[in-house]
Amino acid sequence: MLGREIHGSTLGIVGLGRIGARCRRARAFEMTVLYHNRRPRPDAEEHGARYVSLDELLSGADYVVLTVPLTAETRGLIGRKELGRMKPTAVLVNVARGAVVDADALTETLAARRIHAAALDVTEPEPLPRNHPLLRLDNIIITPHLGSATEQTRRRMAEMSIENLFAGLSGRPLPFAVLPRRP
């Protein structure tokens, strides 16, 4: 049972919002960081991340991490074509929403070993039925939407909710508002 070294590899982040912007942590592992977003983010580039097209990210990354919101534009964002652009040694990590990835295409890709592996914190449907073909594969890790289940993270989530509540009750803008997508 051996893992794979991430030191010096290339991390590709699709969706550089609040979660994806944590890319600066990859510097500790001397990783190259590519990102794709609706628009470039100068703050990310200050930390060494480079804005690229989705195709360039998929073909260049050793680890592709999905952190996009689920919208009409992102539903099925990663399908057969996109999985086909990934390296055979690449790992897909989905911490966004299950419907961002075409589960049938991912199942076929993993079964044929066209990518190395996948790690999913979310699935579509959620939870997967016990007989789902993804559950029979040995090159996938599926967690039951618990990637943020730490005492510290859950405490911070509660604090953010309270800050929003107090701001809303006093008529101030919500500090942690989920805003509609800008065109």
Catalytic residues: 97, 126, 145
Cis previous bond, 125, omega within 30 = yes
For residue 23, give the amino acid letter: C
Q: Which helix (H) or strand (E) holds 165?
A: helix 151-169
Q: Which has the closest alpha carbon to 7: 33, 35, 34, 28?
A: 28
Are 121 and 147 a contacting pair, CB within 8 Å?
A: yes
